[in-house]
Each structure stands twice: as structure tokens, then as C-alpha cells.
A and B are shown apart, each in its own frame.
Chain A
Amino acid sequence: MFPTMTAEKPISLKPQVPLREPSAATDDVQRAIKLETRHLDFYYGNNQALHDISLQIPERSVTAFIGPSGCGKSTFLRTLNRMNDIIEGTRHTGDVLLEGTDIFDPRVDVVALRKRVGMVFQKSTPFPKSIFDNIAYGPRVAGLKDLSRLTEIVESSLKRAALWDEVKDRMRDSAMALSGGQQQRLCIARALATEPDVLLMDEPASALDPASTTRVEDLIFDLKSNYTIVIVTHNMQQAARVSDRTAFFYQGHLVEVGPTQELFTRPKEKQTEDYITGRFG
């Protein structure tokens, strides 16, 4: 279940032999770099949270960020769609590039950026509205009013999030009435409705029961053929199950990044090895 991925620098890439059974179509393809950070430093006030992070995220794959609490992985995730802009007193140096475009360029519209780089949070955040209105929220704030088009988007988003069969007969019911696992898949469907290229997930399954977690993980695996997915997780088994590449963060530094299989079996760094073998964190 671990298709081969690009190495850190696409130029020096040699296609690797698949470690296991290949998943359809996406193997042996040299994937372009979707997101890239270069020497990113990030500060909360005077407190430096990220130190010189340079990382490339290939498209149509799952990249997992792991590391102990407070290591900066969530902060890093939130810089990728500029959600940290909301927090007062934050600043950064270095670049974040989406398909080569600096997302902090003054000409970049942060609203347009967030439509292309969707986000799912740790705590499911259904709006106190109907299921339909929840999914249609993103397209509506973007100015779409045509009801038949909205209906199409809602249906396809819910299908992609594997929630359609469970809710198709109660689109007008409040989203707050759904179960926790359903609410989280609703949030994923809602993020998909804006038709993003990238989906950022901040511990999307940490508040869910095992059965719901499995469903969300299956969903992530299905989605990666169309989306670039970045997932923050505390759960190393989860990172091993769903991701193609894994990045290990520690105390605001990016310690190691590589294909998930390699990072978990043959970590290059001592800190990575200590963390994944449970010696700290």
C-alpha cells in the first residue's frame, strides 16, 4: 500500500521499485511538487515556533507530519493556507510556494488561496445549519447561487467523502444531529466542495472511535488519487497506514522527511528512531 514517491529533489529522481502492491495509476509517475517551503521560520511574538523548514510536498499523495505535542507540526500545517494570519502577533520569514507561486506575495488573495488549499480540523466543526447548507457553504460564499449547480456539488462532495448514502434522505436536517464520525466526514465533504487541490488535515481522526477512524483513513486513501493531502497526526500507526511520505518534527525543526516505509523502518536520524520506537514523545 505504499506507492513510490518522489525524492526530495525531483531533478535527481530515480523511479523506485514499488515496495508493495501498487495502487492504480499513480505509480511510477514522477509527481510534480505541489507545495514547497524554503527556509521557513515562524514566530508567535518573540517565540520562534518553526526553524528553517524546507520541505517539498508532491502532488496526489499523502504526506504525514508526526512529532510530539508542541513540535510545530500543526503550526506548519496552518502556514500552508495562511490560517496563522488570523492569530495576532505572528510573523514569518522564508517562502511558501504553491505550484511555484509564493502564497505570501501581496498580490495573492488569501480567500482564493484557502479555496485551493482546504482544511479539516481536529474537532469537527459543523455549522449550525442543514447538511445541505453546510456543504454548499464554500461555493455560496464564493458567489454561486444556482441551486441545481449547488445540488450537484453537494451530492458529488458527499459521495467523495463517502457520506452520501447515510445522509441523502435528510439533507434538510441539522448537521449537528449527525454522529461524531459523520460530522468529521461532513467537514471533509465541505472542504471538498470548494474543489481544492490540496487538503490539509489537522489530526482529523483523533476525536473519533476506531470504526469512524477506519472510515476516515479509507477516505484519505481514496482521495489521494485526486488531491494532495497533508495530514498531521499523533498516531504513528495512522501515519504508517495512510501516508506515502512522512515528516518528523521536533521542537520546531524538521528532523527528517522521506518515504513513510523508509522513515519507519530505516530512520536516518537518532531522534526519529527514538520517537518512533517510543523512547520519548
Chain B
Amino acid sequence: MSSSLYSNSQTRGRWFEYVCLLATWSALFFLAVLLTVILWQGRGNLSMSFLSNFDDRLSPEKAGMLAGLWGSFWLMILTFLISVPVGIGAAIYLEEYSTDSWIARIIQVNLSNLAGVPSIVYGILGLTVFVRMFGIFAKGAIIERMTGNQVEGLFFAFGLNVPLPLGTTVISGALTLSLLVLPVIIVATQEAVRAVPGSIRHAALALGATKWQTIVTLVLPAAMPGIMTGVILSLSRAIGETAPLIMVGASTFLRATPADIEYPHELVTKPRATINAPFDEYTAMPIMVYSWAKQAQREYQGIASAGIIVLVTVLLTMNGLAIYIRNRSQQHLRW
């Protein structure tokens, strides 16, 4: 009998392949449907004036995203500036300096846990810590009792004015989003740093480099592609976050940009506004989409779709940038 040569194991293997293929296509199918519907709904509302107008709740055709675009821009810049140094610093400490103690292991486990904490929880944390600052600056609270007068802010040269507590300003939102993305940045950086071979570190130390020089001149440059990929991917998660920003008081309706900077060149021509923008009220793109989608008038559904298109475009651009940076800087790296 030669029947054993005709066993059905190959057939079963092929069925499994089809099931996996179906799983892949079903995910892509729903993404395609979603994008098509959004594009179709938003098609009439996309124009240059949609990017340059403020929101309008009376005439939908005049509604635009300018406030959200600038709000999200400031959020991303500040979140980047806060989370990247802290995240890289923490990862370097954990990978290069800390000894394998039980504290280090607890930190490591909790970093992974933090990455999975719902974003609304970070919103509540941000509200308490940054927006209200535990209420210590409130009337009759500890600061007023200790200093004898109510502190409302810190004033510096160049007209820089930092409100205390930070309140519902861009910086509160950025600090909250930084907490949200930090675990991801730390874990991504740790993995990138770990991927740098130990032999490279030993070679540098044997040449008389200090540990600090080894990290700065070799480990970080070699790990940079991995770090930047982690940073940009986590920031593109942060740019779409709505829940924590609602908690920390992003405006759902605002006809102003932070510090009234409406054109990129004003970042340079109005330096005083630029340094104060982080301490101004703001709204953000996902918040605007959310509030348009809640409106009763049908026309605002199309506006919300147009908002989603802009948001997704910015997001895909950031992801594309991440891939470009990674590919470009990996060319020299072959261990």
C-alpha cells in the first residue's frame, strides 16, 4: 500500500495557511472600510480654510481646525522635550548603571505594567498633580498660610509667566502625556541599548574611555535608531489621546491658539509669545473631533470626518518619519 504517501497532512497545513490569511485580510478590510467611509464623509469639508479657520458652532462650513493643530503641535513638542531626556536617562540608568537588585526588578516589572495602564488614569493623575498641584496654591491652603500671601505664578525675565498651579494649560497636558509615553520610551530605549554588543563597550573601556564616554560616544549613537523609533511611535499614540486631555482640561471649544501664534514664522518673530505658549489654554485635534462628533447637526459629522483625516495624516507622517529614520541610520550598523 502506498497510501501513506497521500496523507492529508499537507491539506491540513494549507487550511491553516488560509485561516491565517483570512485573519490578516479581515483586519485590513475593516481598516480599509473605515478609511473609505471617513474619506467619503469628510470629502466636502477638506480645504485650506479647514486648516486655517477656528471652530464655529453656528455655521459648520466655517468651522476649522487651526486651534487644534497648534494645540497638538505644542503638546507634541513639549511632550517630546520632557519625555525623551527623562526616558533615555531612566533607561540608561537601568541598563548601564543599576545593579540587579530587587528594587531594579520591581521597577522593571512596573514599567511594563505602567505601559498598560488606561490613559484616563493618567488623566486623573495629571489633574491632581499638574493642574491642581494638590491644591497647595489654593486660597487658604498651605502656601498662603506659610508665605502670608496667595502665590499665583512665577514671573521671570522676557515676560515668562508660569501660573501656579499650572491649571488647564498646554504644559499640564504635555506633562500628563509624557507620563503616558514614558514607559514605552524607557522600554524601547532599554531594548535598543541592550542590543549594542558588550564587546563594543569593553573595547572602548580598554582604550581608556570612561563609562560615561562609552555611553555617549558609542552606546547611544548605536542605539539611536531604536530609540527614535520608540519615541516617534509612542508620540504618535499620544497625539491621538483624548481621554487624559479631557481630564486635564483641554478646551472642547476654543477660538484661539496658544499665545495667539497662528503662523509658523511667528514662533521666531514673536519670541515672547513662543516662550509663554506652553502656559496658555489650548485644545487638541482629537478633542475637536470628539466634540464635533457630539454635535446634533448632521453637517458636523462631515467636519468630524475631515478632522479625522487631518489627524490620521499627521499620524501617518510621523510613522513614516520613524521608519525613514530607522532605515537611514541602520545602514551603518552591522554587528
Contacts and interface: CB of A to CB of B under 8 A. Distances in A.
Contacts of B221: 128
A111 B203 contact: no
Contact of B202 (A88, A125, A137, A176): A125
Interface string B54-65: 000000000000
A127 B332 contact: no
B200 interface: yes
Q: Interface on chain B toward A: helix, strand, loop, or mixed SS?
A: helix
Contacts of A228: none
B205 A137 contact: no
A137 B203 CA distance: 11
B136 to A, nearest CB: 43
B200 A111 contact: no
A125 B208 contact: no
Interface stretch (A47-55, A90-98, A187-195): A187-195
Interface stretch (A114-122, A148-156, A256-264): A114-122
Contacts of B108: none
Contact of B213 (A88, A141, A176, A190): A141
B121 interface: no
A191 B204 CA distance: 10
B332 A88 contact: no
Contacts of B210: 111, 141
Contacts of A142: 208
A197 to B, nearest CB: 13
Interface extent on B, as a size class? Answer: 20 to 34
A88 B197 CA distance: 18
A138 B203 contact: no
Contacts of A86: 202, 205
A88 B198 CA distance: 14
A115 B203 contact: no
Given A141-B213, A141-B217, A127 B208 contact: no
Given A111-B210, A112-B208, A176-B332, 18 more contacts: A83-B202, A86-B202, A111-B209, A114-B205, A115-B207, A121-B206, A125-B197, A127-B200, A127-B204, A128-B332, A128-B333, A128-B334, A141-B208, A141-B209, A141-B210, A142-B208, A176-B333, A176-B334
13 contacts: A112-B208, A114-B206, A114-B207, A118-B206, A118-B207, A121-B199, A121-B202, A125-B197, A125-B203, A127-B203, A128-B221, A138-B207, A176-B332
Interface of B: 99, 197, 199-200, 202-210, 213, 217-218, 221-222, 332-334
Interface of A: 81, 83, 86, 88, 111-112, 114-115, 118-119, 121, 123, 125, 127-128, 137-138, 140-142, 174, 176, 187, 190-191, 194
